[in-house]
Structure formats: C-alpha cells, structure tokens
Structure 1
Amino acid sequence: MMNKLHWNQFNSFLWIIIMSFFCASTLQAQRKKEAKKKDTLDQIILDSLKRDTMSIVATKEDTIAIQKAVLGDTLIPFVANKVEKYNATIHYSHRSVRDTLDMSDLMQEVAMVNKIVDKMQTRIEKGNRNFNIQMINTSIILLTENLNDLDPKSESLANYASRLMQNNRDVKRILKDPIFKLTGLSTDLKVQLNNIYQDGQQLDTSEIALLTRINLARNQTSTAILKLNDLLSDLKYMEENKYFQMWKPDAPSLFKLKSNYYQQPFWATLGSSFSRTFKIVGIYLKRKIGVLCWGMFFLLVTGIISWNNRRKIKKNEDYETIMTPVKYFKRSILLTTLFAFCNYFPFFFLNPPYSFLNLVELIQLVLFVAILWPYLLFKGRIMILISALICVGFILDNQLLDPTFGERWLLFLLCIALILTNLAVFKFNSSYTSLIAKSWVTNVVMIISIIFAVFSLLFNLGGLTTPMKLFGFTSIQVLIIGVSMRMFCQVALEFIYIQTEANKGSRFSAFINYIELKSKYMRIFAFIGMVAWCIGIFHSMNLYGLFLFIVDFIFNHHIHIGQFDFTFYSIFIFVFVIWVSSIVSRFVSFALGGDQDTSSTKRNKLGTMTLLIRLSILTIGFLIAIAASGIPLDKITLIIGALGVGIGFGLQNIVNNLVSGIILAFERPIQVGDSIEIGDKSGTVSEIGVRSSKLKVTEGADVIVPNGDLISQQITNWTLKDRRKRDFFSFRIAYGTDLYLVKKLVSDVFEENKNVLKNPPVAITISEFASTAVIMKAFFWVSELDDIPTIKGNLMYAVYARLLEHNIQIPHDPYDLGK
C-alpha cells in the first residue's frame, strides 16, 4: 500500500515537470517568432529609409505604431484602419485637384492689365503736360478697380496653393509609409495597399504639375499687382503736383493763345476722347455687374409699385381730385421713375469716374426736359432748350481729356451763356412754368453757379487751364444737381402720396400718413438732397477723395478718454441701430392696432402683447447696437454702474415707470379699451406705453398717466371681466297714486327696450317717502357701459311719456324752485 502511494506521487511529480518544460518551450518559441517579426519589420523600415533619403520619410510615430500592432497581434486591424484613412486622404486630394481654379480668365485679365499699365506708363514717360485732373482721376479710379479685383484673386490663388501643397505633403507621407512593405498580409489587404500606392504616385505627379502652373499664375498676378501699385503711386504724385501747380499759369492767356499751341485739333481730340470715354464706361460697368443688377431690380420694383398704385387710384370716381397734387407721376410713370433712378443710382457706387456720371447726367437731362415740357410756357420751352444745350456743352467739354485751342474758347462761351441764362431765370422765372415755383433754394443755387462760372472765366483769361476746367464744370454741376435734387424730392413726396391714397385700408399706408407727416418728409428729403448736392460738388471739384479721407478720419479716428476708447463710427452705428429699432417697434405697435382710432372703446387684448413685443424689439436692438458698434462688454458694465448711481439720485421715477410698464404687461390689470377710474379721472385706456399710458376721458382729452401711478394707486376697472354695468334713475310719484300700477308701467317700458338686459332683472323700488311725493328708483343693466347715457336718456323719456299717458302726476320738488 505504501509502495503504491509513493508510485502515484512520483507520477504526479513527473507529469508536472513535463508540462512545465512544454510551456517553457512554447513561450520561448513564441518570443523567438515575435523577435523575428520585429527584426524583419525593422529591416523593412531600414531598407525603406535607405532607399529614399531625399524625400519625406516615415515618422518615428508610424514605426512605433506598427511595432505595437505587431507585438499586440493587432496588425490586421491596424492595416485596415490605415487603408481606410489613406483612401479618404487620397480621395480628398483628388477632389482638390479636380476642383482646380479656372486660371484662363485670370491670365487674360492679367494680360489686359499689363497692356493698360504699359500704355499708360509709356505716355507718362513721354511727358505729362497734357494730363489734366479729370484724366488722372479717371485713370486712378480704373486702376484701383483693377487692383481691387486682382487682390482677392491673388489671395485665392495663394490659399489654393497652400492647401494643395499640404495635400501633396500628405500624399508623399503616405507613399513613404513602411506599411506598403509588410509581408504576411491577406490578399485583399495587399491589393488595397497596392491600389493606394499607385493612386498616390499618380496624384503626386498631378499635384506637382498643378502646383507649377499655379505658382506661375501667382507670379504673373503678383507682378501685375506690383506694376499697378507703382503706376498708382506715380499718378497720385502727378495729381498732387497738379493741385500744387494749378494756381500757376500753364498756358498763354485766352486772347494771346495761338491755334498751333496745342498739338491736336479740337475735333480730333473730341473724337478720341469720346472713344476713350465709352471704353472707360464699358470697363468700369463690366466690373460692376452686381451693382447694376441691384439697381435694375430697384428700378423695376419702384416702377411696378408706382404703376399699380396709379391703377388703383384710377378706379375711383374722383380720380382727378385725388391726383390734383400729383404732377410728375400723372405725366408719365416710366419717365418719372427713370428720372428718379438717375438721381439715386450713382450713389450705388463708391467713387465712379466722370465719364459714367456724365453719361447718367445726359440721360437725366433728356428725361427732365421730357417731363417738364407739357407744363412749360412758350418762353419756358425756349429757356429750357437753351439751358439743356449749355449743359450738353459742358458735359462734352468735360470729356476732353486733352486741352485744345477750341476747348478754351468753347468753355469761355459756355460760361458767359450760363451766367446770362441764370440772370434771365432770376428775372422771368414766373413766366416760364407754374410747376416749379421760385424759392430761396433755387436762388442760392443759381448764385453759386454764377460765382463758379465767373471764376472759370477769370482763370481762362489768365491761362490757368486746370482751375478753369474745374470751376467751369462745377458751375453747371451746381445747377444740374441742385435742380435735379429738388425735383427728386417732389417725386419722392408724390410716390408716398399715391402709395397712401391707393392703399388707404392698409396699416402700412396709415403708418406713413402722408397728410399729417408731409412736412416731416419734406425736411428729410431736403436734408438728403443737400447732402447729395454737397457730394456732387466735391466730386466735380475732384475733391471727393479728400472728402472720403476726411470722413474716414473723423469716423474711424480713435478717441481716448481715460480708459474709454471709441470712434465716432461706433457711436453712429449704435445710435443708428437704436433709431431703427425704435421705428420698427412703433411700426409693429401700429400694425397690431396700437394707434387705432381712440373713439373705438372695444377692449383690445393685443395691447399688453404689443407692449411686450415693443420691449423685446428695443432690447434686441440695444444688444445688436452694442455688438455692431464693437463696444466692449466691460465698458457696458461701467456704463450700467454709472447709470445705477444716476438712478439712485435722479432717475428713480423714470425707472419706476419703466418697471411698472413691464409689470402692467405681465399682470395685465388693465388693457387697451378698458374703462377705468384713477383718482379723479375716468376714461378709456387708449394706449399702454413703455413709460406711460394714455387715458381718453369723456371730454375728449388725452390724459397721460405714468405707469407708476397705475401700479401704486387704486384703480377701478369697470371692464376687467366684461363691459356690463348697472345704472339707475329716480322719479317722483304723487301721494294717492297706485304704486303697483306705476311699477307695472315702468316695467313695461324696460321690457320694450332691447338694450336693457333681462338678466339680471330690472328692479323698481321705493326709495323714500318725501314730504311731497313718493320717490321711486329704477335699477337696470346694460351690456355696453359706454351706451349708458343714451339708453338712460331714452328710458327716462319713455317713462315720463308712459306716466303722463295714464294721467299719473309727477310732482316737482319744491326745493328746486330756488335753484
């Protein structure tokens, strides 16, 4: 038994030794296998690095990642993940190559710019004596437009090249990944890796070729931009030099001028200048297609609205009476709309060239004559034709980019004709037309025009050709813009008038309210016209660039006051947004019935909702104003803190009323249309505002009640639940009368009146036994408290007649005899 036990222990021990040896052998073999794999992988990576030392190599992180995958037996998922990632990268790079920029138009534009710059540079090198201010200014405007067009395109090319270079670096990194040299992978993975490698090689070649073309285009574009900047610097220097030298004679006096002093004759210069003008206008408008489309859209919309409004008015029987104040739109919708368009369309552009403005003025002049022609008397037609010819002469003269002998004499005669025409209008204005009345504005405009014309004559006689042309052209611009803007203001007023008359039932037309706000609209349009007139004069004097510089300096100059840093532009934006918000809030209030006729006493449940909407709009407007003006929030905190101090000292009542308005909006103890009593005042609530509310009293007056009083004082609201109200009246009956008969007769009167409610029932009671009569009272209910005076009066009439009909005496009060 003992030997058998020892034999079993020996077998168990032997079995343990065999299993331990087997496990150790297996573990050693696995470690050798992993070491062999690692050595093979390291050799592959080393060979790859030795073969391509001049290109992008695999990063250390890639090698470590592959080693970890091999050691962790996750190589297959690791490779699959890499395949998916590389496929996405190559697909994205393929799309970038496929969506390449179209550089053919850019290269044509660059070639055209180089051609223009070379021609202008050649002309400058030959001598700049014949360069006048208009030509220099027009050249600067066109070259600036080309520069502004090329700059963003050059930036787009740079961004695209940067993105393409990054994509190419990613592709090169993929091609140098040692994962493509791994062995022992499945057939599918090998095929996918091989496809990725081939696509990457093709993509690398395509990207390098594309980068070469893009870099060439970038170089050409950058060269053109540099040439444009150099030429602009030269032209601006010439312009400044012209201004400094303009007050010195640069040509002989007019009467000493010989016809061969200038190289080209007048007519040849005129023809070449016209050809150049149309080219300039075409080039300029070609770059402003978007602005032209917006302008045409605005013209179409205003024309359709005007035509539709006049069509609606024509349906009325009193069409002629309604259209009595209308002159221009009654004459022609098309001509009037086009004339107004010619007035505001140039302001769609920041700094248009003279050629474009002169073309618009010619069209505007034709429309002006066509509109006024039926309203002109015979002398007026003669005068307007002479004035139109003078305007055309000045406009044609302004197209001459080179001075000539004929231009000097033409400008001299035009200035004399302009002076005489203005003097004739001064004397005989009333005999020309009854449409445009003479005013002090017209007189001032004509006086300024005469002054500029006189200075142009003097400069012409003295041989100062640059100021001669500037003052001569400005003399007619003063007149053209002044008269056009005045007529434009009248056209705008007519537009508002026919909009109001054609849509009397709409809330928007009621909000415009032309009849009551006509004077306000006239002041607004007069101010706009004055600003436009000043801008036109600055532009004609070639001071528009200086004007923009001054405006930009004033609005964007940073002002420091203590820790505050602000600009007038931020203040303007803040005030403008708040102003627009207030207009929008008033319009919303009006559209929701906030300004309805106060004679209507129906309760309006939208009153408090309107107040909440107005408060929301003003709050949003305030936040937008802060964001748009760029005011830092920490500065707002300081301002609110300062306001807190101000509230503590002197703004308690204002803030109290504002907060009370918000409480009224949420609690709604009163609404628009409610009949209330507050203090010694009673009436109907006509408006609930942000700070105060309006109460329409029975006398017809509007009582302004601060919202704080509506919260703090006791209010009797007769219409909080409904508009029913009880009332009564007393009557006297002689002693000895059958009171039951009286009660029945009076009850019958109330039964016959349909305005008296049946429930609650009418109550007729004895109030008092007086010394001379029995005093009775009749209590009744009505559905509408505002109808009580009328209903009560009718009932008293009926009761009196019914009692007299039955010979029931109504004794008088003896105490009333002495009253």
Structure 2
Amino acid sequence: MIKFKKELNLSILGLLIGCSLLPLTMLQAQENVVKQMLTDSVSLSQREVVIPIKEEELPVVLSEIKVRSLKWANSLPERSEINAKLVKNDSFLVVVDSLLFVVRRTNTKRVNVRGLINLELFWKDQRNKLKIERDGLSSAIKRLQADRQKQTNSQLDQIETRFVNDSITIDSRTESLALQVIGQQDSINSEVQWRKDLLLEGLNNTITRLIDVELIVEDIEQTLSERERNLYRHAETPMYQLDYKGFRLGDSVSSFSKRFGGEWKAFKSYLMSKQNILFLAIGFVIMIVVLFYWLRNRLNQKDLTNLTAFQSSLVSILNQPLSAALLFGFFVVSGFFANAPPLMDDLMILILLVPILQLHARLIKPDLMPYLWLFAILILIRFIDGFMPQYTVGYRLLLLLFSLIQWIALLPWIREKRILELQNKRLNRIIYFTFWIHWIGLTIAIIANFLGFVDMARVFTEALVANLIGIIILYFSCIVLIGGLHFLLGNTWFQRFNVVRIHEVYLKRLVSRIVVFIALICWVRMLLRVFYVRRSVENWLTSLLTDPINMGSISFTLSSIFYFFLIIWLSVLISKAIKVVLNDDILVRIPLNKGVPRMITAISQFTIIVFGVLFATRYIGMPLDQLTIIFSAFSVGIGFGLQNIFNNLVSGVILLFERPIQIGDTVEVGTLMGVVKSMGIRSSNIKTFDGAEVIVPNGQLISQEVINWTLSDRHRRIEVISGVAYGSDVHRVKKLLLQVLEENPDIMKDPKPLVLFNAMGESSLDFRMLFWTAQFDDWVRVKSEIVFAVHDILYANDIEIPFPQRDLHIKSFEGRFPGNDE
C-alpha cells in the first residue's frame, strides 16, 4: 500500500513539475526571472547533507516533519491575498491594454515635438509601473520557491525510498503516521504549486504588456530622434501662399483650450503619482523661505564690510527675502521631479516670473523697466504659443508676432551699448555678443517663417526668451549659493579651523569656480534642449564613449579611459586636501616628534593615491593580478636604465621613515650648505644662503656624508677672537668680555659662555670667546653684535686694541759698501 502511495505521489509530483515547467519555458523567452530561481534551488539541494535515520527514531522524525510542515503551511499567503493581488494586476493591465489600443491607432508622425515628449514621458511612467508589478510578482514566486526548497525534507525522502525498497519494517501506527505526513506534504505542495501557477500566469501577462510598452517607447524615441534630425529641414507652406480667409480666431482659442485641458489632466495625474515628492518639495520651499528671512535678520546685525562681490549681491537680494527664496526654492525643487511633463516647466516659469520682476525692479535702472515688462509679455506669448496647433495660420501669425517683438526690442541694445553699463568689461562684451547672436537668430526665424520652415522659426524665436529665463535663474542661484558659502566660511564657527582661517581666500575662490562650473553645465544642457539637439548630442556622446575600440587583441572604450584618469585625478586632489587638513588642523594640535607629521601626511597621501589607482584599474576591467606583468616590466626597466631613479625613490622612502633630514633643517652636503625647503619622493630642494635653489637627488643624501646643523635642536656655538695690546690687564679684560656675553639676551646661559686666554701673539694678547645661541637663523647677527660690544667696552675702558706692527732697527757703520768705488 505504501509502495502504491509512493508511486502515485511520484506521478502526481511529476505531473505538477511538468505543468510548472511549461509556463517557465514560455517565460524564459520573454524574461529571465525564473531561471535564477531554479538555479538557486539546484544549488541548495546539492549542498544538502543526508543523515541516515534509525528505525526507532522514525516516529519522532515524522512528528517533527509534520509540525514543520504545518508551520510552513500556515505561513503561506492566503488564496484571497493572491487573488486580490492578481485582480489588481489584471485591472492595471486592462488599463494598459486600452491605452495601447489608443496609441497604436495614433499616427505619431503627425504629432508635434511637445506632444511626442508628453507621450514619451507618459509611457515611460507606465513602463516603470509595469516593472514594479513584474518585480513584485517575480519576488513572490522566488519566495515561494525558496520556502518550498527549505521545506523539502531529505529525511522524508529517505523514509519513502526505504519503504519502496522494503528495506524497513515498521508497525501499523508508524505506517499511519508516515502516510499522514506524506499526504500532508502532497497537499502543501499542491497549494504551493497552485499559488505559483497563478503568479506565473500574472507574471507572463505583465511581461507581455511590458514588452509592448517597450516597443511603444522605442517607437516614440525613434520618432523624436528623426523629428529632431529633420527639425531644420522640414518645410511647410510659405506664408504668402496660406489661406487666410479660412482663419478664425475662435478656432485657435478652442484648439488652445482643448490642448491645454489635455495636458492639464496629464499634469494632475503626474502630480497624483508624485504626492510624496510634492509634499517634500512644498516643505523644502517653506524651509527656504524661513531660512532667507533668518539670513536677512542675521546679516543686518553684522558689520558688512570687506565683502566679496557675491556677498554684496546676496545682501541686495535678501532685501526681498520672499522673492529670493521662491526663486531659489522653485529652481532647486524642479530637480525633485524626474521626467516631468513640459506643462510643469511652463507653469514653473510663470510662477517664477513674479519674483523675477520684483527682484529686477530693485536692481536695474528705472529707464530699463519697460524692457522688464516686455520680457514678461514675451513669456506669456511663449506660454500660449506652446499650446497652439502647429502649422496652422493662427500659429504662424502668433509666431511671427513673437519674433518681431523680440527683433524690435533688441535693436536699441545692439545699437546703443551704453544702455547696459557693467563694471566687468568682459561680461559686458559677452552680453552684447549674445544679443547680436540672438538678433541674427531672430532675423533667420522671421525669414524661415515666411519661407515655410516653421520648426526652425519656432526654435530660433523661443531661444532668446528661454535663454534669458535660464540665465536669470542660474545667475540668482549662483549668487545665493556662492554668497551664502562665502558668509559661511567667514563665520566664527568655521574660523576656528586653521584650514579655513589660513586658506579662506583660496576656499572662497574654489567655491565660486565649482558653483559657476556647475551652472555652466546646466546652461549648456538647457541650450541643447532649447535647440532640440540634446537627444542627438547625448546619443552621439554615448556612442563615442561606449563603443569599443580594438587595437589588436586589446579592446577598450573612451569612457573607461576617461573614468580611469578622472578617478586618479580625484584621488590626487583628495590626497592634497587631506595633506592640508592634517598639516594645518590636526597634526599641529597633537604633540609629535619632529618629522612624524610629515611621515603621517606622506603615508596618507600615498595610501589614497594607491587605492585610487587600484580602484581605477579595477573600474576599467583590468584584473589586479595582471598588474604583476606591469611590475615585472618595471623591474626589468630598473635593471637596465632606471637604477638611479629607483635608487632615489628608495632613498626618499628611507628619509621619510628615518627622518635624518627634515624641511627647514640647515644641512651641509659636500661644499653645499643651505636650508631644506622641500623633500619629495625622488629629490629634495636646498636653498643656499646666497639665494640659489639646488635640486639634490635623495640618493646623495643617503650615500654621502651630510652635516645637519639643526637635527636635534637649533642651537649653535659661536667663536669670537679678540686681541688687546701687550701691557693690558688680562684679568680685567676677561671680566669685561664675560660682561659683554652675559648682557646679550640672545646668548644662552646654559652652556655657560667662556672667555679663554688663547695665546700671546706677535702683536697682541689673544682672547677666545665661546658661547651658544638659540637663534640659529640669526647667528651672524648675534656674532656681529658681540663684536660691536667688545669693541665698545674695550674702547670705553681705555684698553688698546693692537694692530700688527714691525720694529725696524738701523745699524750705522763707517766705510764704504762693497763694490762701490766712490
């Protein structure tokens, strides 16, 4: 009976596995989500260890298996939960099917660029939702499979095998318990298989819709790319051939309302899907408003002198804290919303128009106010122009009006350069050059509109307003960021750090450059988007950086090379920054022996750079074990031509750890004597007392004899020889010389200065003065002062200072000199 039960169970189990493998095979062609699950199951079963079961332990083992199976069965998700999940998934798929039916009947070739962008964003959002559904179903299936694998009991399999082979004898009670456990296992497996089959069916349907949506998105992206490529070549009917009799203003208004209503519904749907981000953005804007009011009050209490240009501009802007906060806050929160519809950008610009007008009303001259209001009118026209149906008579006329207003408004600016006078002449020239470029672009737009190149005319017409909006927002954002960071660096809390206090000017300049660089990147991206070439440029850059370049058997990409050098460059910058922080702010506060701070700094720098190189090498895909080839080649190079360089490098490391010479020491190497100004890994810089800077290889500092005058301290012994005339009281002279040495504050008391009677010379009685000074750098001055004092005290005490003299004795005699006849 047990044998028959076993065979029946095996048959049912084989049938269930076969049924489960059929949908798995279908899904494997579409999505590889179940393959990993089966692989994990096999690996788990291969690692399982089977322990033989004794006959007397069977009842206990069967009871434990029964309890574990019941616990697992209770932990399985309810059928209602599975059905509810699948009903929700099916409802969403029905909506997707209806949307797919509509979009497949839409001719995307006749949809304008703005409409295509809206379609692209909408279907990308649907794709993300489908991916979330797919991942949820896939994870549920994996959990079921993993739980089932954990509950698969090798002990029960062993018992069944022994029943089949009649290799075990048990009583009827144990047999009944075994049959119950086996039946329980079969029932649970059936429940698991039922749940998994349902989830697999939902997963299959979801993946099918996901593939359809992927194709729709790909089709829209290709249409957009093709439209952008042909943007400046697409021609419609010239304006002089249009049928103006059929034009009705009411039709244009009706089309505007219809298109705006459609985008408004999509915009509300987008906001509903981003509620959490929306609340976060509102909270962020409120926080920025409070912060700006607080900053204004704090700055009014400070002494606003010696400010940078950005700090002064920030103070002026903060006179209108609400407008400044709204302008900066809305600009920042625009980055919170990824893949936002174009209507959101248009509404954001309309909202920002109010603070822009209010801020500029206080910053510009009164005679420029008409241009400011004209700018506001142009933004409104641009907003209306975005919802007009393209290529119609009303759209063409509105576009022509839009171009002519800008063209006429720019004429005074390019004819009278004194309208805008800025202190920065270079910025002044850039602005006027930009005006000229835009005026030429508007001229091209007007001509293109007449000739029928509507897309070209629209791009050049909207470029000026869009560029001005972007520049204004980026300009105020740069002022807020740079000015705020400058005030932050000047804050008393930051001034506690030596790094900030010593390098404040450099840090302010660095902050300004970084923020301006980021602003330039944003401006370039905005220009690419305005001229509808961003997608083409990004595709070109992606292809350029990611396409493999083959050189023989070596294959690489430009992006890997770029990131390789970028990572190394960043590691070098970080190492330099850490060096400055350690030297100026950390190690100076810790009592360390001379040379230890430099060693710690050098090791830190070297470690960061090495990790940067290893990370960069790993990033480009080169296995680290292949670096041994490079090191082997390097060792061969050392053997042939790099012996001296390698010797100097090793000597640099020895100098770093032994520290016989440090920066600032006065050393004497051969005939060279000077102060060590810098020490590198290969060579050191010694500045002589004559002002010459000598580059000395580190190998010479190790192999040659080096005299370090300041290794342990900066004390120096000085010797002065002084002589007095014969007949002077030598004991009195000794007291006077000791008095000179004791009265000089630069002479050390310990060791005690000495005055020695050195010798009785040919012309003088010589005294030798020996004394120590802690002013090593000024020992020449100290010696000169002692010589002056010795002269003065000897002269004041009427002690003669002799000079070399010779006595000539002339002996007279009578007679003639030999050889003189006269």
TM bin (shorter chain) = 0.7 to 0.9
Q: Distance in 2 between matches of 1:106 and 1:52?
A: 30
Counterpart position of 1:34: none
Counterpart position of 2:539: 549
1:630 and 2:621 matched:
yes
Q: Distance in 1 between matches of 2:386 and 2:490?
A: 44
1:606 and 2:597 matched:
yes
| Matched positions, count | 759
Aligned partner of 1:588 among 547, 569, 578: 578
Aligned partner of 1:266 among 252, 264, 281: 252
Q: Secondary structure at the match of 1:720?
A: coil
Q: Distance in 2 between matches of 1:173 and 1:373?
A: 80
| 1:119-138 equivalent positions in 2, closer than 5 A | 119=99, 121-122=101-102, 125=105, 131-138=111-118
1:447 and 2:427 matched:
no
Cα deviations across residues 221-259 of structure 1 (Å, max 9, x unaligned)? 224313313432443454356457753444562773437
Q: Distance in 1 between matches of 2:242 and 2:527?
A: 31
Q: Which moved more, 1:721-730 or 1:320-329?
A: 320-329
| 1:137-176 equivalent positions in 2, closer than 5 A | 137-151=117-131, 153-165=133-145, 167-168=147-148
Q: Distance in 2 between matches of 1:811 and 1:86?
A: 122
Q: Secondary structure at the match of 1:757?
A: coil
Aligned partner of 2:401 among 395, 408, 413: 413
Cα deviations across residues 469-527 of structure 1 (Å, max 9, x unaligned)? 33333343344435555665566554554344334553443686535984x77776665
Q: Distance in 2 between matches of 1:704 and 1:786?
A: 22
Deviation of the 1:306 alpha carbon: 9.6
Q: Is the 8 A contact 1:750 1:795 kept in 2?
A: yes
Aligned partner of 2:196 among 211, 216, 220: 211
Q: Is the 8 A contact 1:677 1:716 kept in 2?
A: yes
1:620 and 2:620 matched:
no
Q: Distance in 2 between matches of 1:408 and 1:252?
A: 10
Q: Distance in 2 between matches of 1:689 and 1:399?
A: 66
Q: Secondary structure at the match of 2:720?
A: strand
Q: Distance in 1 between matches of 2:282 and 2:688?
A: 52
Deviation of the 1:607 alpha carbon: 1.1
Q: Distance in 2 between matches of 1:288 and 1:433?
A: 45
Amino acid of the structure 1 residue aligned with 2:547: H
| 1:378-397 equivalent positions in 2, closer than 5 A | 378-397=366-385
Q: Distance in 2 between matches of 1:168 and 1:130?
A: 54
Amino acid of the structure 2 residue aligned with 1:788: W
Aligned partner of 1:669 among 657, 660, 685: 660
Aligned partner of 2:757 among 741, 749, 766: 766
Counterpart position of 1:726: 717
Deviation of the 1:557 alpha carbon: 0.9
Q: Is the 8 A contact 2:449 2:457 kept in 1?
A: yes
Amino acid of the structure 1 residue aligned with 2:436: I
Q: Distance in 1 between matches of 2:348 and 2:513?
A: 26
1:678 and 2:674 matched:
no
Counterpart position of 2:37: none
Q: Secondary structure at the match of 2:490?
A: helix
| 1:285-296 equivalent positions in 2, closer than 5 A | none
Counterpart position of 2:24: none
Q: Is the 8 A contact 1:306 1:495 kept in 2?
A: no
Amino acid of the structure 2 residue aligned with 1:147: R
Q: Secondary structure at the match of 2:748?
A: coil
Cα deviations across residues 403-431 of structure 1 (Å, max 9, x unaligned)? 65543322222222222333333344544
Tell me: CA distance 1:654–1:393, structure 2 relative to 1, closer, same or farther (3 Å).
Answer: farther
Q: Is the 8 A contact 1:310 1:498 kept in 2?
A: no
Q: TM-score, normalised by structure 2?
A: 0.77
Aligned partner of 2:7 among 38, 49, 64: 49
Q: Distance in 2 between matches of 1:741 and 1:342?
A: 90
Amino acid of the structure 1 residue aligned with 2:253: W
Q: Is the 8 A contact 2:236 2:453 kept in 1?
A: yes
Amino acid of the structure 2 residue aligned with 1:231: I
| 1:770-789 equivalent positions in 2, closer than 5 A | 770-789=761-780
Q: Distance in 1 between matches of 2:155 and 2:727?
A: 127
Gaps of at least 5 residues in structure 1 are 1-42
| Identity across matched positions, percent | 22
| 1:232-247 equivalent positions in 2, closer than 5 A | 232-236=217-221, 238-239=223-224, 242=227, 247=233
Q: Secondary structure at the match of 2:13?
A: coil
Counterpart position of 2:731: 740
Q: Distance in 1 between matches of 2:431 and 2:90?
A: 49
Q: Which moved more, 1:96-105 or 1:454-463?
A: 96-105
Q: Which moved more, 1:616-625 or 1:485-494?
A: 485-494
| 1:185-224 equivalent positions in 2, closer than 5 A | 200=185, 203-204=188-189, 206-224=191-209
Q: Distance in 2 between matches of 1:171 and 1:199?
A: 12
Q: Secondary structure at the match of 2:799?
A: coil
Q: Is the 8 A contact 1:340 1:488 kept in 2?
A: yes
Deviation of the 1:572 alpha carbon: 1.3
Q: Is the 8 A contact 1:255 1:461 kept in 2?
A: no
Counterpart position of 2:365: 377
Q: Distance in 1 between matches of 2:387 and 2:421?
A: 32
Q: Is the 8 A contact 1:131 1:401 kept in 2?
A: no
Q: Secondary structure at the match of 2:305?
A: helix
Deviation of the 1:273 alpha carbon: 4.0
Q: Which moved more, 1:92-101 or 1:208-217?
A: 92-101
Q: Secondary structure at the match of 1:593?
A: helix
Q: Distance in 1 between matches of 2:172 and 2:750?
A: 96
Cα deviations across residues 129-157 of structure 1 (Å, max 9, x unaligned)? 75201211231133123324433541442
Tell me: CA distance 1:274–1:636, structure 2 relative to 1, closer, same or farther (3 Å).
Answer: farther
Tell me: CA distance 1:741–1:436, structure 2 relative to 1, closer, same or farther (3 Å).
Answer: closer
Counterpart position of 1:76: 56
Q: Which moved more, 1:696-705 or 1:476-485?
A: 696-705
Deviation of the 1:630 alpha carbon: 1.7
Cα deviations across residues 152-204 of structure 1 (Å, max 9, x unaligned)? 541442243144246447768789858489985799x9999799668756744
| 1:688-707 equivalent positions in 2, closer than 5 A | 688-695=679-686, 705-707=696-698
Cα deviations across residues 753-779 of structure 1 (Å, max 9, x unaligned)? 454333322121233434443332221
Q: Is the 8 A contact 1:696 1:703 kept in 2?
A: yes
Tell me: CA distance 1:210–1:694, structure 2 relative to 1, closer, same or farther (3 Å).
Answer: farther
1:228 and 2:204 matched:
no
Q: Distance in 1 between matches of 2:564 and 2:270?
A: 35
Tell me: CA distance 1:260–1:560, structure 2 relative to 1, closer, same or farther (3 Å).
Answer: same
Q: Which moved more, 1:534-543 or 1:690-699?
A: 690-699
Counterpart position of 2:42: none
| 1:244-643 equivalent positions in 2, closer than 5 A | 247-250=233-236, 253=239, 256-258=242-244, 260=246, 265-281=251-267, 317=303, 319-323=304-308, 326-332=311-317, 353-362=341-350, 366-400=354-388, 405-428=393-416, 430-432=418-420, 434=422, 438-482=427-471, 484-485=473-474, 493-495=482-484, 497-502=486-491, 503-509=494-500, 513-515=504-506, 518=509, 528-593=518-583, 603=594, 605-633=596-624, 636-640=627-631, 643=634
Q: TM-score, normalised by structure 1?
A: 0.77
Q: Is the 8 A contact 1:147 1:228 kept in 2?
A: yes
Q: Distance in 2 between matches of 1:720 and 1:302?
A: 57
Q: Distance in 2 between matches of 1:730 and 1:103?
A: 110
Amino acid of the structure 2 residue aligned with 1:450: W
Cα deviations across residues 36-69 of structure 1 (Å, max 9, x unaligned)? xxxxxxx63344325774235999xx9xx9x995
Q: Distance in 2 between matches of 1:386 and 1:570?
A: 49
Q: Distance in 1 between matches of 2:567 and 2:540?
A: 24
Amino acid of the structure 2 residue aligned with 1:624: F
How large is the RMSD of aligned CA atoms in angstroms? 4.9
